[in-house]
Amino acid sequence: MSKLGNLGARLHRGEVGYDFVGNRKFWYGLSILITITAIVGLAVRGLNMGIEFQGGAVFTTDRVTVSASQAEKFAEEAAGHDAIVQELGTGGLRIQVSSLNTEQADKVEAQLVQDLNLKAGDINSELVGPSWGEQIANKAWTGLGIFMILVVIYLAIAFEWRMAVAALIALIHDITITVGVYALVGFEVTPGTVIGLLTILGYSLYDTVVVFDSLKEGTKDITKQTRWTYSDIANRSINSTLVRSVNTTVVALLPVAGLLFIGGGVLGAGMLNDISLSLFVGLAAGAYSSIFIATPLVADLKEREPAMKALRKRVMAKRASAAAKGESLDGPSGPGDFDPLPVDAAPAGAVVGQRGRRGRPTDKRR
């Protein structure tokens, strides 16, 4: 842990770092590949929509002597198509059969009473119409649209429109991957899934906004110096917040992993899978996109500005001149190579001169 803390401190001071922006094409390609895989999975396999969205019947039984797999076989034979059976803590079963009307549900219930050796009062049935699920889905889409509009407006005001665009692309990236994983894994989509998808939006933006804030502070008066380009400071901003982002993501993932792998997998509480999978994938994708997608995209957009192009030209000319004279300048001289900031410099990512913020000579020996 002490080594991790020391690494975090060195990253924050800019003494070490990884060239995220310089290697952005690799990460863009990887993200495009993952996104295409998710879209193909969604198109080929589709989503396994729950009974709340398709309509059907839910049968709940008291304690039974048959296993869940046997009950599933009985339910599928009675209904003529797939059924989902979950064990309850009371020893009973919850049997879901989609696309049943009232008459069909009555026949399935009567057959289940006979197959499961139950009395008529030992099983309860509830008919679910698809209209309720449609309302939930429509409200979720409406909420998602309003959320994205508000996010873009806020980020454009608090930071700038380029950061708003990058954050929006990262959000779409995270949602697409999460939905695609649901299609590939085949987990049932329920209202809990919708809640999980809406919940990850805030988590997805958290790390992104932290990096953007560091980047905003670091690029004040950037054109008044010739040591770093915008991409250099974007790298410093990501590296200075990297350990914090990793720590917060791991801490958030641990309880969700407990729900998904222990609650849903080991203990068989299948209903926990609905929300835990969307949270788990969404949190991981959000942390990834904030580091490898959002900030490099901002750097790409900013480097297209005439002022940033001129700055890059001046910085490269100064570095070339220094290299020809055998001198060393602060700033990355290659991928992953970061020289330390002066000892009286501003926090990592801030733009300062060779002589410090106040023009005093520093006692930093190189």
Q: Work out the burial of residue 44: count CB atoms within 10 Å of its CB; fewer than 13 is exposed, 13-18 middle, 19 or more buried.
A: exposed
User: Do 108 and 57 meet the contact criterion of CB atoms below 8 Å apart?
Assistant: yes
Q: Is the CATH code 2.60.40.10 the one for domain 2-49+133-306? A: no
- Work out the average pLDDT over 326-353: 43
Task: Report the candidate in 50, 55, 63, 51 with the shortest Cα–Cα distance to residue 123.
Answer: 63
Query: pLDDT tens-digit profile of 169-211?
Result: 999 999 999 999 888 888 878 877 888 888 888 877 888 898 8
The per-residue pLDDT of the chain, averaged, comes to 79
User: Residue 297: what pLDDT?
Assistant: 94
- Work out the average pLDDT over 115-139: 78
If one compares 263 and 229, the residue with the highest pLDDT of the two is 229
Domain residue ranges of the chain, discontinuous segments joined by +: 2-49+133-306, 56-128
User: Do 35 and 263 meet the contact criterion of CB atoms below 8 Å apart?
Assistant: no
Tell me which DSSP letter residue 291 carries: I
Please give the sequence-ordered ranges of beta strands (E in DSSP) within 109-219, or none if there are none: 123-128, 188-189
The CA distance from 362 to 352, in Å, is: 12
Q: Work out the burial of residue 307: count CB atoms within 10 Å of its CB; fewer than 13 is exposed, 13-18 middle, 19 or more buried.
A: exposed
User: Residue 168: what pLDDT?
Assistant: 92
Least confident stretch, 198-207, 220-229, 280-289, 346-355: 346-355
Task: Using DSSP, state whether 163 is helix, strand or coil.
Answer: helix
Query: pLDDT tens-digit profile of 42-71?
Result: 999 888 887 777 778 888 887 787 888 888
User: Do 179 and 46 meet the contact criterion of CB atoms below 8 Å apart?
Assistant: no
pLDDT tops 90 at residue 8: no
Query: pLDDT tens-digit profile of 73-106?
Result: 888 888 887 787 877 766 788 888 887 778 888 8
Helix crossing, 271-289 with 191-218: angle to 10°?
20
The class (CATH top level) of 56-128 is alpha beta
